[in-house]
Amino acid sequence: MNYLGDTGVGELTKLARKLVDTLRNYSSICFCTHRDADPDAVASVLGAKFMTESLISNVRAGVIFPEGVNRVATKILKSLGFEKDLTTATSCDLIVYVDASSKSQVFVPGVESGRDYVVIDHHETNELAENALLSIHLKGMASASEIIALMLEILSLKPDTRLATLLITGILYDTKNLRLAKPSTFRALYYLTESCSECFNEALSLMTSTEVDRSEKIAVLKGISRTGLYELNKDFILALTCVGAHEASVLKTLIASGADVAIAISLRSGETRVYVRASQKIIEVLKSPIASDLVTYMARELGGSGGGHEGAAGLLLNYEANVNELLRLVKQFFARQGMKVSVLEEGRWVDKCSS
Ligand SMILES: [Mn+2]
């Protein structure tokens, strides 16, 4: 029986050994990932570096993050104390591309290409794999972090608490908190949490705590406080507001609070932006892509450009629109759908948008 069971993981046992054999031929190795590295990218790079340094003495191992690390990954690295591990390497004779699937993602000015490289990835397609010295391309796995965790298990290497937690955040990020998990994901999590039971909770709280900055908090609270509320045929609630920033967060809050359609209008100098969100309920009941339909309708009437999806859409006008005219069009749109718009509470949004 295969050591790691029949989860697509068995293949990895062979590949992990091959990888170590390959790495042993080089004295300086860089681990590189995709642009704007997310938690899975960062965790798998640092995990692969740990693996290499643990097995090969005197190797020089460095990391490369093209265009840096994204916001959520930065927050995680900081809380776990990994800031010092991010200094970009400038020279190496082997590159290991981890969680990167295309050439454009890994292009780093100043680091020449064309040298030997290895690929470790889980994306559906990988254009780097073809010319790689060795390619560990397992598209059945939900994250690059779990590939690394499983290789650590195969090679009998124990990550410390910090690295185990980081790898779990990578797994949680790519699996959308396990919604997209595969059997290999749980196998990897078992290994990572076996000797660190608190690591999972720590990673989960790092992933779910949404530290909101002051300007966003103020924008959301202002947006809500001036919202106008309307009813569509007594069936649905329409919320309209006017904000200058963080429109997406304002709309998310309105929908989470029970609005079926939420609209944020943002007037900037010389332009108007209209952001629309629709609840899953209204989309299902009306069986129409309500957000994009509304935006398309307004764009046609007002001469702007707009588009989006059933639940989220946006419109841009190259002038400062009259807010009452926008309200009239919204009402007209719903009237054409056979829905009467009645006022529940005017709110202060019209005034705020006009001043
Ligand atoms: Mn990934």
Q: How far is the CA of 118 from the centre of ligand 1 (A)?
A: 16
- The list of the chain residues with pLDDT below 70 reads 1-9, 107-114, 210, 355
Judge if 188 and 61 occupy the same domain. yes
Judge if 178 and 236 occupy the same domain. no
Q: How far is the CA of 194 from the centre of ligand 1 (A)?
A: 23
Judge if 131 and 69 occupy the same domain. yes
DSSP letter for 87, please.
P
What pLDDT does residue 108 have? 63
State the pTM of this model. 0.64
Structure tokens at 219: 């924008």
Q: How far is the CA of 162 from the centre of ligand 1 (A)?
A: 19
Judge if 147 and 285 occupy the same domain. no
- Does 87 fall in a domain? yes
What pLDDT does residue 141 have? 93
Q: How far is the CA of 211 from the centre of ligand 1 (A)?
A: 23
Q: How far is the CA of 235 from the centre of ligand 1 (A)?
A: 42
Judge if 143 and 36 occupy the same domain. yes
Q: Other CB atoms closer than 10 Å to residue 135's CB: what's the count?
A: 18
Q: Find out whether 95 and 114 touch, Cβ atoms under 8 Å.
A: no
Q: Cα(70)–Cα(82) distance, rounded to whole angstroms?
A: 14
- Does 5 fall in a domain? no
Judge if 327 and 202 occupy the same domain. no
Overall domain count for the chain:
2
- Does 248 fall in a domain? yes
CATH number of 256's domain: 3.10.310.40
- Does 3 fall in a domain? no
Judge if 186 and 328 occupy the same domain. no
DSSP letter for 129, please.
G
Q: How far is the CA of 36 from the centre of ligand 1 (A)?
A: 12
What pLDDT does residue 2 have? 37
207 Cβ contact partners less than 8 Å away, ≥ 6 residues apart? 39, 72, 76, 169, 172, 173, 177
Q: Cα(106)–Cα(171) distance, rounded to whole angstroms?
A: 21
- Does 1 fall in a domain? no
Q: How far is the CA of 136 from the centre of ligand 1 (A)?
A: 14
Tell me which of 208, 243, 276 is where a domain ends.
Answer: 208
Q: Cα(292)–Cα(299) distance, rounded to whole angstroms?
A: 10
- Phi then psi for residue 135, to 5 deg, are -125, 120
Judge if 220 and 204 occupy the same domain. no
C-alpha closest to that of 186 among 149, 152, 151, 137: 149
What pLDDT does residue 233 have? 93
Q: Find out whether 207 and 200 touch, Cβ atoms under 8 Å.
A: no
Structure tokens at 5: 């069971």
Q: Cα(48)–Cα(118) distance, rounded to whole angstroms?
A: 12
Judge if 158 and 244 occupy the same domain. no
Q: What is the pLDDT of residues 48-98, one digit of tens each?
A: 999 999 999 999 999 999 888 988 999 999 999 998 888 888 788 999 999
Q: Please give the single-letter amino acid code of residue 192.
A: L
Q: Cα(107)–Cα(236) distance, rounded to whole angstroms?
A: 49
Tell me which of 177, 208, 239 is where a domain ends.
Answer: 208
Tell me which of 208, 236, 263 is where a domain ends.
Answer: 208
What pLDDT does residue 11 have? 83
Judge if 105 and 233 occupy the same domain. no
Q: Cα(49)–Cα(301) distance, rounded to whole angstroms?
A: 57
Q: What is the pLDDT of residues 211-239, one digit of tens each?
A: 778 988 999 999 999 999 999 998 999 99
3 state DSSP class of 57: coil
C-alpha closest to that of 313 among 270, 276, 258, 266: 276
Judge if 47 and 175 occupy the same domain. yes
CATH number of 186's domain: 3.90.1640.10
- Determine the structural domain holding residue 155 and report its residue range: 10-208
- Does 142 fall in a domain? yes
Q: How far is the CA of 81 from the centre of ligand 1 (A)?
A: 22
What pLDDT does residue 90 have? 79
Q: How far is the CA of 169 from the centre of ligand 1 (A)?
A: 11
What pLDDT does residue 1 have? 30
Q: Find out whether 136 and 156 touch, Cβ atoms under 8 Å.
A: no
Judge if 57 and 135 occupy the same domain. yes
DSSP secondary structure of 152-164: HHHTT----HHHH
